[in-house]
């Protein structure tokens, strides 16, 4: 059985091979892969490009503030866990990352063996 991402990848390539827009299956714009509707959507939701890093940081900080104010995950647009700033998926990913980092640094081995500090 295929996962959702595998099905999406298969559909994407099937549409490309048929000469259709890979996002919606519509007629692509002249020499491009995607149709005019999808191009406009992508441009409207892309955010600033080729900008000063300070401007990009302030843009991302504002986007994070808006998401948190709306009760959404700070990293994506899914609902955040009550009282937290991330959704379940990003919370689990951060936990994995933290454990892997501590294991690489040897912190977990020391704590689990009773040695601290």
**What 3-state class would DSSP assign to 53?**
helix
Which helix (H) or strand (E) is 39 found in, with range? helix 36-44
What pLDDT does 4 receive? 85
Q: What residues in the chain have per-residue pLDDT under 70?
A: 47-48, 108-117
Q: What is the pLDDT of residue 113?
A: 57
Classify residue 93 as left (phi > 0), alpha (psi -120 to 50) or beta: alpha
Q: What angle do CA 90, 11, 30 make, to 5 degrees?
A: 110
Mean pLDDT of the chain: 87
């Amino acid at each position: 059985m295929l996962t959702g991402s595998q099905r999406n990848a298969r559909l994407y390539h099937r549409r490309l091979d048929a000469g259709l827009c890979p996002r919606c299956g519509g007629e692509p714009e002249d020499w491009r892969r995607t149709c005019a509707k999808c191009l406009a959507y992508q441009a409207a939701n892309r955010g600033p490009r080729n900008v000063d890093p300070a401007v990009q940081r302030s843009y991302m900080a504002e986007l994070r503030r808006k998401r948190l104010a709306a009760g959404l995950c700070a990293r994506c647009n899914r609902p955040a866990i009550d009282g937290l700033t991330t959704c379940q998926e990003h919370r689990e990913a951060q936990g994995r990352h933290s454990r892997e980092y501590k294991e690489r640094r040897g912190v977990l081995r020391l704590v689990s063996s009773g040695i601290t500090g």
